[in-house]
A = this chain, B = another copy of it.
């Protein structure tokens, strides 16, 4: 099996997203982080805020897009996320017209990779060990909170 090749920018920005996820984990929140970038320029970043803000819509990707404030177009941008996007976040990526998504891992949650690709989004799945371990630990420790965050819908 050939190894996935990532640019240095991709590696750095996925790591940045991972650090956002760690911040949320340390706040007893859901450990998913995200970064929106134009090439190597970070436009915004965020992490899941369900626990912190009592906000069920604040998945990592949504929090990141929210923090980016208003923008007319998202063409050419890359969204980095530590976990494969749920249907809400995949829908946001498609509706906003984000060109490319780098996904830390899709082992703990399959998400909607094919759905994104079928709408023309370029998706890179990294299978990052740190992202996998962080999420696996969280799901093991807080199955109730994880179940709540996806409303029990592992697949939709």
Contacts and interface: CB of A to CB of B under 8 A. Distances in A.
Contacts of A88: 88, 91-92, 94-96
Given A95-B153, A119-B156, A54 B74 contact: no
28 contacts: A54-B70, A55-B66, A55-B70, A56-B65, A56-B69, A57-B57, A57-B62, A57-B65, A57-B66, A57-B92, A62-B62, A71-B148, A72-B148, A86-B95, A87-B91, A87-B92, A88-B88, A88-B94, A89-B91, A90-B91, A91-B92, A94-B153, A94-B156, A95-B151, A95-B153, A95-B156, A97-B153, A119-B156
Interface of A: 50, 54-58, 62, 65-66, 68-74, 86-92, 94-97, 119, 147-148, 150-153, 156
